[in-house]
Amino acid sequence: MQLTSFAPITSLLWKYLEHCDIDPEPIYLKVGIDPLLLSNPNARIDVKLTSQLWAETVKIIDDPTFAVKMVEHWHPSMMGALGYAWLVSSTLRRAMHRMTRYIHVVSEGFNIKLDDTPAGLKLSVCINDSLNLQPQQHTLNIAILMHMCRFNFGDELVATEVNLARPKPDNIKDITDYFRTDVHFDAEVDSFTIARVDADAKLSSANKQIALMHDEMLMKYLIEIKQGDIVQQVKSIILDNLPDGQVTDKLVASELNLSERSLQRRLHEHQTTFRFLLDSVREMMAKQYIKNPVNQMGDVAFLIGFSEQSAFSRAFKKWTGKSPLAYRNLLT
């Protein structure tokens, strides 16, 4: 399956090339990336093309540490809704959890892992086996995430540990100056660790309602970009049609140009059923909508396809063991 990334994230490299007085357009066109895609929030690019783009770039920029100089050109919009959700997260821990949950919105070539360790909260970037990253990309992954943490917390934030899965360059000064701590090279994975007291400190930029609004957008977008999978295709169609009420297997099969029997058979091959997927999408969206105190329970019921609030309440209690109101009260 083709792995893709959010097209605007590639504009970071474009901006840095311009900063270096290098015309980016011929480089992007050479590897098959249309520069117009960089300003299109609905566009995605094959991650193999971005790998080729980096391979071409490192031939031109003779500086094994240039990635840490790129971070000053970063902007939240380059990560779309995830960038903005990060900015209004209540703590760095919550921001990092958002990153683990929605990283594929930015790039399907990576996964983010969080671990509580004796040294603090450790964030690791796990790279898909099919990708062959340039050393500078390993540095950039961690530098950008560190920059985002400092953007929220303050520039005084320093990691307790930084690991890069790249060879140690001859001159590491730019890298260590950026992180302001010892950096370990040739690591198994790219990672950094911050003290728990910093990870859990309340942030002045927090805005719960805006964060939840972006979470809703991210959930829907994540389902949309996984449409190569029949299960995700079905979830996407269910999601689009929930507010209309009666979402049936007949409707979904029709939108997929399948018979109902063929749809059932293909879902059975994935060890699932239409009913299970309908309930799972409804439960996922109900939990998200309930988190936002602005949403009335009657509105939540409508948004996930129930005509009666009482029917929604019964279904939600079946899913979670709690009433919608009790679930909301647990979150406050």
Return the domain boundaries, the chain. Answer: 4-199, 226-331
pLDDT in tens, 220-246: 888 777 766 788 888 888 888 888 777
Q: What is the pLDDT of residue 174?
A: 95
pLDDT score of 75: 92
Predicted local confidence at residue 125, as pLDDT = 97
Rounded to 5°, angle at Cα 17 from 66 and 70: 40
Of the chain, the end-to-end C-alpha distance in Å amounts to 41
8 A C-beta contact, residue 192 and residue 162: yes
pLDDT digits (tens, 9 = 90+) for 19-34: 999 999 999 999 999 9
CATH number of 4-199: 3.90.1520
Predicted pLDDT at 41 = 87
pLDDT at 332: 65
For residues 160 and 50, what is the distance between their CA atoms, to the nearest angstrom? 31
Spatial neighbors of 152 by CB under 8 A, at least 6 apart, are 86, 87, 89, 92, 95, 203, 205
Amino acid identity, position 193: T
Please give the pLDDT value at position 1.
Answer: 60
User: How far lies 205's CA from each of 92, 95, 153, in Å?
Assistant: 11, 12, 9
Segments in the chain below pLDDT 50: none
Q: Which CATH class is domain 226-331?
A: mainly alpha
